[in-house]
Amino acid sequence: MTEIRHEPAAARYVLDVDGAEAGFAAYADDGTGVLDFHHTVVHPAFRGRGLSAPLVRGALDDVRARGLRIRPTCSAVARFLEKNPDYADLVG
């Protein structure tokens, strides 16, 4: 079972798989309603399982629900946006 959780104090979204942290997407909040996603990691034990996309999707879905926008400086987030143009409206 996978779950995305937001850790605002750490400025990151975490992907849990069966209760274990599998990876995270870190961001910087510039205070203007734009979150700069600058680093995405899937931990080595969880790589090769296609977890990057659900991690980024979950984070961006939460950003959208909160009425914020993003800056995709992380290559993983930028690639996700290229493959999923329905999230392009979040770029600001």
3-state secondary structure 25-58: EEEEECCCCEEEEEEEEECHHHCCCCCHHHHHHH
Which pLDDT tens digit goes with each residue over 43-86?
999 999 999 999 999 999 999 999 999 999 999 999 999 999 99
The whole domain housing 57 covers 2-90
Angle, helix 52-65 to helix 75-83, in steps of 10 degrees: 80
**CATH number, residue 31:** 3.40.630.30
**pTM reported for the whole predicted model:** 0.95
Domain count along the chain: 1
Percent of the chain with pLDDT over 70: 100
Which residues face 16 on adjacent strands? Answer: 3, 21
